[in-house]
Every structure is written in C-alpha cells, then in structure tokens.
C-alpha cells in the first residue's frame, strides 16, 4: 500500500514546449525529422534513436521491445534485427506494427502505425557492412530469442565466428532490416494542467489529414 500511495502522488508539470496547428507540417515525416533532430541536439536526451516496437502474435498477444531506428524517409522507418526472433515471427503472421518514441526530457512522444515489410537484401548488406566488427560477429553469435544454457554459449559462438570470418564476416541470411510504412502518426507535446497537445495524421486516399485530438 505504501508503494501504491507513493506512485499515486507522483506529479510533474509539463512546461517545455507546445505544438500548435501552425507547427504541424503538411507531411508528418517533416515534423518527425524536426523533432528527431531536436532530440539528437539536446544534451539531455540519451539514445534519441531508441523506439518501442509493438507487434502481435498469432494468439493475439501483443509484445513490445526497444529497437533503434536506422533510417527514415518517405518510404518509412527502418530498423534491423534477427529474422528468427520473436518479433520477426510475429511480423510474419501479422505484418503490422506500432512504433513509439518517448523523449522524456523534451516532454514529447511520437506514435507511428502501419504495415511492415523487409528491406531489400542490398539495403541490409549495405548497413551490415558499416556496423562495428563486434556487432557483425554478434549477429552470427546470438540465436536471438532462443533459450540458451548460459552466457558462455554466446561467448563461445562469438569466438568461433571471429576465428572463422576474421575481419570480414558476411551478413547472415537470417539478419536484416524491416521498414514500417506509416499510415498513422501522432505527435504529443506535454502541456500544463494535463491539457497536452496531440496532433494526429491519418492517411486518406493518398493524402495526409491532420487533426487535433483531446488529451
């Protein structure tokens, strides 16, 4: 009960910014890239590229995890992972997902929803080639989402693949990128008295419609 009382009385006044209709660009991507740049430039925000990815399994059970955005353009938002992982298995059944960025220090949240597809093998190859060597070896060493006996399994795998490939490990065929193609964006800016700003973009007949939502 003591912990419940403590949580119930936590309060914060959101006063760092505002989001008016005049700030809402015609294309949601432009606003997102501006907010992402603000987060990257802020000295207070750590891992501005971290986003929560939500997927749904064949049983209808949702799951979330944090991944890192690696590209964003008019085609969509891209991250990379193991194609045998739980999220990949869920996307194979339900190729729709939701993303969320929460830049706590800026009192901002961005939510994105849409269809998901794999990026091309060429795109995955190009990104894999610029990853640090230990990350490239790690892609081979980790049977992501599978049960393993202990951490020693990962270390042994890493040593074996490092010996096998040296400085030039190729991209594993079960590792690559996904692209979420947005049909829904929501931008949230914290405001005083819990009267937060929420601007939604929804895709209708190929055009983006922006609307203010009540907080």
Count Cα neighbours of 187 within 13 Å in the Cβ-side half-sphere. 24
81 is in an annotated binding site: yes
Residue 194 falls in the annotated catalytic set: yes
3-state SS class at 84: coil
70 is in an annotated binding site: yes
CA angle, residues 24, 30, 32, in degrees to nearest 5: 85
Which residues, including other chains, have CB under 8 Å from residue 111's CB and lie 6 or more apart? 98, 99, 100, 184, 185, 186, 188
181 is in an annotated binding site: no
144 is in an annotated binding site: yes
194 is in an annotated binding site: yes
67 is in an annotated binding site: yes
48 is in an annotated binding site: no
The one catalytic residue in 179, 194, 200, 212 is: 194
145 is in an annotated binding site: yes
14 is in an annotated binding site: yes
CA-to-CA dists, residue 196 to 38, 90, 107, 213, angstroms: 19, 33, 10, 9
Q: Select from 71, 167, 162, 84 the least CA-distant residue to 124.
A: 71
Contact 195, 189 (CB under 8 A): no
86 is in an annotated binding site: yes
Q: In terms of DSSP H, where are the helices of 47-111?
A: 86-93
Q: Residues within the annotated binding site for substrate?
A: 11-14, 70, 127, 131, 135, 194-196
- Active-site amino acid positions: 194
Q: Residues within the annotated binding site?
A: 11-14, 65-70, 80-81, 86-87, 127, 131, 135, 144-145, 188, 194-196, 198
Q: Residues within the annotated binding site for FMN?
A: 65-70, 80-81, 86-87, 144-145, 188, 198
């Amino acid at each position: 009960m003591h912990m419940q009382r403590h949580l119930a009385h936590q309060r914060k006044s959101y006063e760092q910014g505002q989001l008016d209709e005049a700030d809402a660009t015609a294309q949601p991507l432009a606003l997102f890239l501006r907010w992402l740049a603000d987060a990257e430039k802020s000295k207070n925000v750590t891992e501005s590229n971290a986003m929560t990815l939500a997927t749904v399994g064949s049983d209808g059970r949702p799951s979330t995890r944090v991944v890192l955005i690696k590209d964003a353009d008019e085609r969509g938002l891209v991250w990379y992972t193991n194609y045998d992982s739980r999220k990949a298995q869920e996307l194979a059944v339900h190729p729709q997902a939701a993303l969320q960025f929460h830049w706590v220090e800026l009192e901002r949240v961005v939510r994105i929803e849409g269809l998901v597809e794999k990026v091309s093998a060429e795109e995955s190859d190009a990104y894999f080639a610029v990853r640090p060597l230990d990350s490239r070896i790690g892609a081979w060493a980790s049977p992501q989402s599978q049960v393993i006996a202990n951490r020693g399994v990962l270390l042994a795998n890493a040593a074996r693949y490092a010996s096998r490939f040296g400085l030039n490990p190729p991209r594993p065929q079960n590792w690559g990128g996904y692209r979420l193609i947005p049909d829904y964006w929501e931008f949230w800016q914290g405001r005083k008295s819990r009267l937060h700003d929420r601007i939604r973009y929804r895709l209708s007949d190929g055009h983006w419609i922006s609307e203010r939502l009540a907080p």
